[in-house]
Every structure is written in C-alpha cells, then in structure tokens.
Amino acid sequence: MSKDIVIHWFRQDLRLADNPSLSAAVKQGTVLPVYIFDNKNSGENQLGAASRWWLYYSLSALDESLNNKLCIQIGDPKKVLIDLIEEHNVKAVYWNRCYEPWQIDRDKQIKKVMQAHNTEANSFNGSLLWEPWEVLKQDGTPYKVFTPYYRKGCLNADPPRDPLSKPKKLELFDNNDSGITIEDLNLLPKIRWDLQLEPHWKIGEKPAQHKLKKFLKNAINNYKEGRNFPAKAYTSRLSPHLHFGEISPNQIWHATKSMENSDSLDHFQSELGWREFSHNLLYHFPELPHKNLQPKFDEFPWVEDLEILKQWQQGQTGYPLIDAGMRELWQTGYMHNRVRMVVGSFLVKNLLLHWHNGERWFWDCLVDADLANNSASWQWVAGCGADAAPYFRIFNPVTQGQKFDPDGVYTRNFVPELKNLPDKYLFSPWEAPNDVLLEAGVKLGENYPAPIVEIKNSRERALEAYQSIKNTK
C-alpha cells in the first residue's frame, strides 16, 4: 500500500519545528517539500539584495535538514504547483500563510485553481501570534493605536498556540531529478560584496534557536534599558530569522512565558506585539507601503535631492552617529533599532526627503527587510503613520550619540577615521578645535565630511514644513 503524496510548500517558514502546515502534511502522506522562487507575482516587492543573500543560506540549511530533498522551483507558483500535482498525482497542497497583499492575492487565486483541480489546499498560521482579522475593536474595525491593540486586542484574546515539535517521522518524496538547484536561483551577487555580511550571521533554524537561548540567558533581563545602546548586545537580533520563518513567534513567546515576570520581559514581548501590529496594519491597510496613512502628509513639501540621498545612504553625512548607522547597515545587513530611529528621523526631518527613499534603501540592504515592519516603521518615524511619533519629536544625532553611545564604541567601530577623536567631540567633530582635529588625524571635508546640513536650521525648516500641512485634511 503506497501512501498519498502531498506537497508542503515552504515560503516564509524555513524550519521544521513548529511548522503547522508541515506537521499536518506529514499526517496526510509522503511529503514533497517544495520551495518556489516566485519572480512573477512579487512585482516591486521582489527581494532586496541582502534578503536574497540570506535566502541562499537559509534554503541551503533547510535543504540539509531535509536530507537534500528540498525540491527547488522557479516561476509562477500556480503553474509550478499544477505541474507537480499532475506529474506526481499529488493529493493535497499545504502551506503556512503569508500576509503581504500580493501574496494574499496570489494564494487566493491558487486556492481557486486547486479547487478546480480537485486538489485540497490547506493553509495554516505559522507566522503570527494572532491573525490580523481576529484582532479588531469592538466595532469590528482595526486598531490604529498600539497600546489598546496590544493590551486589549491581543493580550485579552486567546493566548497564542503552543509551539509544535519537529515531526518525528518525516517521510519525504525525493524529486531531486527536477534539476533546479539553489545555485540556479542566482541569489548571490556577481560582485561579491556580500562576503562582508558573512561573519555577522549564522543562518538557519538551528542557529536561530541557539541565538534565542543565548538571548534568554544573557540579555533579556537587561533588555528594557540595554536595548537602547547599540554597542551592547542586549537586543535579540532575531528579526531576520523571524522574517524567513527559521524561528516562529510562538516559539519565542512560549520560551519567554515561563520566565520570571519583569519590566524587561514585558518590554521584549511587546516588541513581538509591534511586529504583530505592523502585520495587522498591512493586512487592513494594504496601501501601507505606498500611501501615507495620514492623508494630510500627501501635501507635505518633501525635497528631492539625489546627491543628499546618496550621502545618507553611504554614511557620508558628517554626523558620526548617522554615518555609523548607515555603514553598519551596509557592512552587516542590519542596524541597531535605536540608530534606525535616528537615521530615519534625520532623513525625513533634517534632510526633508520622502520616507519612501529610506524605505526602499532599507528594503535592499536589510537582511530582516519585511514589508509590514519596514513600511509601518518608516511611516511611524516620518510622522504620517499609525500611532506615529509627534512630528515635533526630531532626534538630534549629536545628543543621541552622547546619550546612547557615550564611550563611542559603536561609532568608532563603523567610522574608524574618527577613532582618535576624544569623546567630547566624537559626535560633533566640526566643533573640535583645530589642534584636536590635527592630533586625531581628522581633516574635515577631506577624510571625513563636513555636516551636509546644519542641525538647528534643518530642524526649524522641518517644523515649518509641518506647519504648512498641519491644518489641511
């Protein structure tokens, strides 16, 4: 008696443990594990360069854990799945849900096609603690403020399900003669700039679990305060693993549940809540990546200046903390959260460039690039989003540096041309006396840029720009 063949379609759930779809598929039959590189439907949301790099290694790790039986495909999943179904007489297709608008549209279509083919299509929640359509206000509309969303909407709802263990007996169908390999996806860049990312990351399900354990042991107790200091290791850095589903939010939530209550623990859990909130927003406001959530910002007098944008992207603004952040992003595919806020505020307020410029750059450079988190966060920092920072809250990159990188460890690491500058002038080298600059080997305008805008003037300019839209609808 031969068992039915069923497909588990891997998407953003590149793990074996706590994978509801995979666990269900295993019960149904022999599993054909498939990954489809969808270059047809993603449109402008195609993976950025850093994400492609991550995906290469994440797929490799997954394939290894499946004894090299991961079936790689390229193209429109609708067609790819139908071909596989017909070729192998597949009885059912299983997947965990994705929540980007184009993915929702695509998957709806696929469900229809499956129905027409008399093939079961089963989808599961493997990526969110609470489904976006389940967390709503009493009047049935979505929340727009984080605190009530999280406290009432999430914490008062049914608790997240406990994580599933890895399927004990995983009977896999071997389709490796399909001929396409991970290499064929051309995920790695031709010019190997990605080599600099490598030392910073260990990719895959196992390293993600290891990182979680280390974070719970060493850092979470200091999270609330420590998370603000970019030179310190008090953040979890789980974001890329979460994005690709190498670890599930349920696994993290569950692991923290058994810990002793503390402000730090609450704070870390609420950061998972922010991830949920962003996904909730994207689900209910699918235009989030393009359109200001507050329409009055449509009239905002943004500036267009490619030269200035380039200086921000390359970490050549003359503001050491900003430049450190932007170079951290380029060199590691990541930026500490505190610094993300500061460089974001600087771009949209001091430089007056549209948040979309920052959103696109982060999309390309971040290994944790995530449509929901990225769009919601850029709108937040620009002041036009849900529960956004009040517009007059403009970060001062000098003050922020002195406060959160007081001994300059982070900034000197990524801006080594300033490494001999004393703490007193590290975040404002233009204020240093000539002899101090000389001794530190800093020549402003030569080996480190002079500031591209003046902080006080640009702040006032931003507040004036805001005045111009304040009373418009």
Whether 363 is catalytic is no
Quote the least distance from Cβ 295 to DNA, whole Å.
10
| Residue 362 found at the interface with DNA (CB under 7 A) | no
Q: To 10 degrees, the CA torsion angle through 146, 393, 316, 310?
A: 60
271 is catalytic: yes
Return all residues near 394 (Cβ < 8 A) that are at least 6 apart. Answer: 345, 349, 350, 459, 462, 463
Contact flag: residue 223 with DNA (CB under 7 A): no
By the rule CB under 7 A, 169 interacts with DNA: no
Among 43, 179, 199, 390, binds DNA (CB under 7 A): 390
The verdict on 229 binding DNA (CB under 7 A) reads no
Residues 137, 206, 237, 254: which binds DNA (CB under 7 A)? Answer: 137
* Residues whose CB is less than 8 angstroms from the CB of residue 372 and which lie 6 or more positions away in sequence, other chains included: 99, 100, 275, 278, 279, 281, 282, 288
Dihedral of the alpha carbons of 31, 255, 339, 330, in degrees to the nearest 10: -30
Least gap, CB of 384 to DNA (angstroms): 11
Q: Which of 2, 118, 261, 471 binds DNA (CB under 7 A)?
A: 471
Residue 55 vs 462, nearer CB to DNA = 462
Residue 373 is a catalytic residue: no
Percent helix, percent strand, percent coil in the chain, to nearest 5: 50, 5, 40
**Contact predicate 373/359, CB 8 Å:** no
Is 157 or 195 the residue whose CB approaches DNA more closely? 157
Q: How many residues does the chain have?
A: 473
Instruction: Dihedral sign for Cα 93, 44, 193, 323, please.
Output: negative
Residue 95: active-site member: no
- Helix H or strand E encompassing 95: strand 92-96
The C-alpha angle 159, 220, 271, rounded to 5 degrees, equals 50
Among residues 9, 54, 355, 363, the one annotated as catalytic is 355
Give dist(CA 313, CA 325) in Å, integer: 10
302 flagged as catalytic: yes
Min CB(38)–DNA separation in Å: 30
In the three-class reduction of DSSP (H, G, I as helix; E, B as strand; rest coil), residue 409 is classed as helix
Build a one-symbol-per-residue string for 451-470: x at contacts with DNA by CB under 7 A, - elsewhere.
----xx--x---x---x--x
Q: How far is the CB of 16 from DNA (least distance, A)?
A: 30
Q: Quick one: how far is CA 448 from the chain centroid?
A: 31
Q: How far is the CB of 334 from DNA (least distance, A)?
A: 16
Q: Does 395 bind DNA (CB under 7 A)?
A: yes
Find residue 34's DSSP bridge partners. Answer: 9, 71
Q: Which of 394, 432, 437, 469 binds DNA (CB under 7 A)?
A: 394
Residue 316 interacts with DNA (CB under 7 A): yes or no: no
Among 57, 95, 143, 334, binds DNA (CB under 7 A): 143
CB 58 → DNA: shortest distance, Å?
Answer: 25
Least Cβ distance, residue 141 to DNA (angstroms):
7
- In angstroms, rounded to a whole number, what is the distance separating the alpha carbons of residues 291 and 375? 10
Residue 330 binds to DNA (criterion: CB under 7 A): no
Q: Report the DSSP beta bridge partners of residue 303.
A: 353
- Residue whose entry in the numeric block shows the structure tokens 């771009």: 347
Binding pattern for the stretch 397-426 against DNA, x by CB under 7 A and - elsewhere? --xx--x-----------------------
Q: Which residues are catalytic?
A: 271, 274, 302, 337, 355, 378
- Which positions lie near DNA, rule CB under 7 A? 137-138, 141, 143-149, 152-153, 228, 271, 274, 337-338, 341, 377, 380, 387, 389-390, 392-396, 399-400, 403, 455-456, 459, 463, 467, 470-471
